[in-house]
């Protein structure tokens, strides 16, 4: 089992602005939403910082898994209602949501590395889309999801509705979105909105340890698994079988596959290198 220790190498990676922080802890990239005075409300700086961090995680080969978390009292309250985003004229919001909120979710979902959302406090509004776009979620016991759009007269945006409906089905998704109530972590676990619930004081430690375990898995195999599962969500069974076969054929020629087979027969731990 991978464990973090005081000797685990950590380095800060500079981003465009301080609204998002990015550290590399061993083989894990830790992305932190960093507007704690605004409950990590999503403004343009945070959007740019998050896109920048995700791109750097993609391009840094040493990073094999990512943790996304929030600084301060909670993960994120969603769009900053007192910030620059809500000052935009309605005619421009369509493009803004698509090119920014949607782009963040697409970048998370297409990243070839597993992304874990570590959620404490509240995750609300558009930040629910960011969290659900992640491959895995771990929540603190007192954390909660809230589709708060309805409470200010809006529908969902940023892909939050699409992701919620696919996670738990239309009827339950509609109830959550139209009622706009807090969904406690225990209920999120029952519904499948989170994978794990842990005490808050252990949240970051558990998330990082989980990411480090995933980082030990074969990078090409992880990327292939993520691609085929996302493909399966929107395609028929025959199409999915064909897509899996194509991905598998490419993987069979990789060094990681050869290493995995050799390690199996030699009864040793494989050393996967992502090629």
pLDDT tens by residue, 79-96: 887 765 555 555 566 666
Question: Which of 105-109, 175-179, 230-234 bottoms out in mean pLDDT, i.e. has the lowest?
Answer: 230-234
Query: What's the pLDDT at 21?
Result: 95
147: left (phi over 0), alpha (psi -120 to 50) or beta: beta
65-70 and 28-33 beta bridge pairing: parallel
The pTM of this model reads 0.88
* Percent of the residues in the chain that have a pLDDT greater than 90, as a whole number: 53
Q: Give the separation between CA 56 and CA 207, rounded to whole angstroms.
A: 20
Pairing of strands 136-140, 182-184: unpaired
**What's the pLDDT at 274?**
65
Binned at pLDDT 50, 70 and 90, residue 267 comes out as confident
Confidence at 34, pLDDT banded by 50, 70, 90: very high
Model confidence band, residue 1 (pLDDT cutoffs 50, 70, 90): very low
């Amino acid at each position: 089992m991978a464990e973090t220790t005081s000797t685990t190498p950590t380095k800060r990676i500079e981003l465009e602005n301080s609204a998002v922080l990015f550290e590399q802890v061993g083989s894990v990239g830790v992305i932190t939403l960093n507007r704690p005075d605004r409950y990590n409300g999503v403004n343009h700086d945070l959007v740019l910082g998050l896109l920048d961090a995700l791109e750097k995680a993609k391009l840094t080969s040493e990073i094999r898994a990512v943790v996304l978390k929030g600084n301060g009292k909670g993960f994120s309250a969603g769009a900053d209602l007192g910030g620059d985003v809500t000052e935009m004229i309605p005619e421009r919001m369509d493009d803004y949501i698509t090119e920014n909120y949607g782009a963040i979710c697409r970048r998370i979902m297409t990243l070839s590395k597993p992304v874990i959302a570590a959620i404490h406090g509240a995750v609300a509004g558009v930040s629910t889309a960011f969290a659900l776009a992640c491959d895995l979620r771990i929540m603190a016991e007192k954390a909660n999801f809230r589709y708060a759009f309805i409470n200010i007269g809006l529908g969902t945006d940023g892909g939050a509705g699409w992701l919620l409906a696919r996670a738990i089905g239309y009827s339950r998704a509609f109830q959550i979105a139209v009622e706009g109530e807090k969904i406690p972590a225990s209920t999120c676990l029952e519904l499948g909105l989170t994978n794990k619930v842990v005490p808050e004081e252990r949240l970051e430690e558990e998330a990082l340890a989980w990411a480090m375990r995933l980082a030990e898995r074969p990078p090409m195999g992880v990327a292939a698994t993520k691609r085929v599962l996302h493909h399966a969500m929107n395609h028929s069974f025959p199409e999915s079988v064909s897509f899996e076969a194509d991905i598998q054929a490419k993987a069979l020629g990789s060094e990681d596959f050869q290493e995995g087979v050799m390690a199996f027969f030699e009864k040793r731990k494989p050393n996967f290198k992502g090629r």
